[in-house]
């Protein structure tokens, strides 16, 4: 798998605008493209490097590119007039940021923020739109992904309503973990609180519980997950439902 990826990288090197440490195929949507499609896209892919907290797009703003995270994680936040916010979905290497573009909305009332620093691939909006509008695997792939995103959003809505902060924190950690290579999250409690739409103190307390139970260790903006199965057990069902839906709609390794 590693070897394969590097093999591909060597092959595409000539026309590649992205550095070798940011393999586009780390993004599962790009990897799921038919090879011919991928080769055509390749010259148009550009590498981007995101710092923690970078705003990818702003609520109400337009979009010149769409983004395929490779190692970064991006949160979709819904922001309200008084500044209160809540995360409605999270996008990592399995997805694309800027779905509303091909859904036909010029803008969206949400904000995309980099939740975990890392790299991604960007692609010009009009290029993607043209590709989308040819009926074919690209469109169906993107729509299936959007359906998975919708599931995540509705699950989040229900979770906000019914589950305790402890459970939600577990869910959130697991979703982030799935999108990272390591089990270390660089993330202050303040940030997590913003994502979950709760007070920072609440996160301190919930994290304290998880720490006491030996599931995580926490030190100054750095969370280490010690017992992943334990987290899953303590999480509400929401994590599993969302994960299953993603797995069903976007089988890893599928060739479309």
> Which residues are at the interface with DNA (CB under 7 A)?
164-166, 188-190, 197-202, 204-208, 211, 218-221
Residue 219 partner contact from DNA, a copy of itself, none using kind-dependent CB cut-offs of 5 to 8 Å: DNA
- Among 73, 111, 75, smallest CA distance to 94 is for 73
The window from 132-140, 185-193, 206-214, 221-229 that contacts a copy of itself (CB under 8 A) reads: 132-140
Q: How far is the CB of 237 from a copy of itself (least distance, A)?
A: 5
Q: How far is the CB of 123 from a copy of itself (least distance, A)?
A: 19
**104 conformational bin, left if phi > 0, alpha if psi -120 to 50, beta if neither:** left
Beta strands in 21-103 (DSSP E): 46-50, 55-57, 65-69, 73-79, 85-91
Q: How far is the CB of 200 from DNA (least distance, A)?
A: 6
Q: Does position 239 bind a copy of itself by CB under 8 A? A: no
Nearer to a copy of itself, 99 or 114 (CB): 99
Alpha-carbon torsion, ordered 31, 36, 37, 42, to 10 deg:
80
Binding-residue total with a copy of itself (CB under 8 A): 44
Beta strands in 101-188 (DSSP E): 111-116, 118-124, 184-186
Token pair listed for 35: 């090879």
Residue window 143-182: x/- pattern of binding to a copy of itself, with contact defined by CB under 8 A: xx-xx-xxx-xxxxxx-xxx--------------------
> What's the chain's length in residues?
256
């Amino acid at each position: 798998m590693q070897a394969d990826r590097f093999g591909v990288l060597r092959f595409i090197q000539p026309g590649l605008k992205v550095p070798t440490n940011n393999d586009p195929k780390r993004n599962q949507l790009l990897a799921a493209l038919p090879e011919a499609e991928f080769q055509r896209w390749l010259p148009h892919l550009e590498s981007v490097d995101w710092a923690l907290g970078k705003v990818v797009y702003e609520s109400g703003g337009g979009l010149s590119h769409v983004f395929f995270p490779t190692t970064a994680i991006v949160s979709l936040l819904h922001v309200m007039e008084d500044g209160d916010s809540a995360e409605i979905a999270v996008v990592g290497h399995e997805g694309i940021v800027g779905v509303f573009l091909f859904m036909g909305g010029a803008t969206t009332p949400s904000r995309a923020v980099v939740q975990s620093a890392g790299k991604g691939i960007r692609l010009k909006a009009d290029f993607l739109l043209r590709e989308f509008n040819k009926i074919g695997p690209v469109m169906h792939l993107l729509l299936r992904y959007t359906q998975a995103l919708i599931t995540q959003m509705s699950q989040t809505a229900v979770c906000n309503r019914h589950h305790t902060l402890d459970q939600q924190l577990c869910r959130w950690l697991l979703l982030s973990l799935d999108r990272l290579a390591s089990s270390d999250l660089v993330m202050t409690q303040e940030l997590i609180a913003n994502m979950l739409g709760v007070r920072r103190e609440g996160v301190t307390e919930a994290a304290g519980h998880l720490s006491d139970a030996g599931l995580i260790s926490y030190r100054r903006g750095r969370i280490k997950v010690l017992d992943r199965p334990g987290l899953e057990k303590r999480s509400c069902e929401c994590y599993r439902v969302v994960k299953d839906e993603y797995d069903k709609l976007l089988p890893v390794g599928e060739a479309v």
